Structure 1
Amino acid sequence: MSRGFVKEDDQEVIPMVPPRADLPEGVTNYVTRIGMKELLDEKEALINEREQLGHHDEKERRIAFNHINAKLQLLTSRINSAKIVESANQPPNEVRFGAVVTFKIGDDTKLNQYQIVGVDEADVAKGKISFISPIARLLIDKKVGDKAILKLAKADRVFEIMEIGY
């Protein structure tokens, strides 16, 4: 039958689900143990939300159900590709994945502190940056006292490592 003979109300709405945090093709999906727990908690919350869907309007319920399933599919894929990195196995005197790095920028006396985490965990407001971010890539493998230089259009920005913790 031609789509021209189908009522508009019978057409299924395809849910638009925003993609998860960017993880470039071929890059391992590293996560901290806390990051993996957050992903699993998010999955459980979505499953619970799906189970709690009301039955008031069948079409709205079906749309919501499909939207949650689409989000679950993306999340499950991310969980299945995750590789937990144990902070205890990292060299304590080098910046690696999971490290909490304290540094100063240039001559500024103010100290900055960020933890290097997986793409799904990253949240600058919480002091967590993705391991694929330019700053994290710049800091990886550095030791206390080392300086890393970020080349910018107008001037270079120098990061001096003051402390490393796990």
Structure 2
Amino acid sequence: MSRAFVKETDPDDDDPQLPPLPQGGKNYMTPQGFARMRAELLDLIDNERPKMVEIVHWAASNGDRSENGDYLYGKKRLREIDRRIRFLTKRLDVAEVVDPSVHHGNEQIFFGATVTYADDEGVERTVRIMGIDEADSSAGDVSWISPIARTLLKARVGDVLKLVMPERVAEIEVLEVVYPAP
């Protein structure tokens, strides 16, 4: 008898899991993140692409295109620019701009909050909950769908939460919640 599809153990109901992903698949963004992406899109359309089209046109007029490095590189770069323009256009079309400053002074954690928390080892960390396209981990930003953000969302200062990580479950305590001033 094959044992390939037999459950070896029943999962425990007490097994902690991450909070579920929000329904609807919205692309939340801060006004600043939306403005940065829009500026990048406009720069690609108004500056980068016309310059590259001009270079490709000049290179094509030089003759043999099969060994023309300017032409080959220019066509490749033009495809990359067009791909980025399509991506940015789609992301901006479905973006839902949320201004975190409306929660200024609130102690509950929502999108756009800067949260300081301490883990069970006493290490304090500060993260800012941002949109998927604008989160920069080197600046302490986390995406609103990341495990830490999903654990923190809707919690309040003083709450002790269980953060599910691949290797263990840690307890974290929310120490401070800050929103930008309006």
Q: Provide the TM-score with structure 2 as the length reference.
A: 0.71
Distance 1:163 1:44, change over 3 A: same
Distance, in Å, in 1 between the alignment partners of 2:23 and 2:88 is 16
Q: What is the alpha-carbon root mean square deviation over aligned residues?
A: 2.0
CA shift at 1:26, angstroms? 3.8
Distance 1:69 1:165, change over 3 A: same
Q: Which amino acid aligns with 1:147?
A: V
Report what 1:90 is aligned to.
103
Report percent identity of matched pairs. 32
1:50 equivalent in alignment to 2:49: yes
1:101 equivalent in alignment to 2:115: yes
1:130 equivalent in alignment to 2:147: no
Aligned to 2:171, the other structure's residue is in SS state strand
Q: Which amino acid aligns with 2:77?
A: A
Identify the structure with bigger relative contact order (alpha carbons < 8 Å, sequence gap 6+).
2
Report what 2:128 is aligned to.
115
Report what 2:77 is aligned to.
64
After superposition, what is the alpha-carbon deviation per residue over 1:77-127, rounded to whole angstroms, capped at 9, x for unaligned?
A: 00111111111223711110000001111132x321111000001111111
Report what 1:78 is aligned to.
91
Q: Gaps (5+ residues) in structure 1? A: 1-23
Distance 1:153 1:28, change over 3 A: closer
Q: Which moved more, 1:117-126 or 1:45-54?
A: 45-54
Q: Provide the TM-score with structure 1 as the length reference.
A: 0.77
CA shift at 1:156, angstroms? 1.9
Distance, in Å, in 2 between the alignment partners of 1:31 and 1:156 is 29
Distance, in Å, in 1 between the alignment partners of 2:152 and 2:44 is 35
Q: Gaps (5+ residues) in structure 2? A: 1-21, 61-70
Report what 2:26 is aligned to.
28
Looking at CA atoms only, which structure, 1 or 2, has the larger radius of gyration? 2
Q: Is the 8 A contact 2:117 2:173 kept in 1?
A: yes
CA shift at 1:151, angstroms? 3.0
Report what 2:37 is aligned to.
39
**What is the number of equivalent residue pairs in this alignment?**
142
Distance 1:161 1:28, change over 3 A: same
**Residue number among 135, 158, 163 corresponding to 1:150 in the alignment:** 163
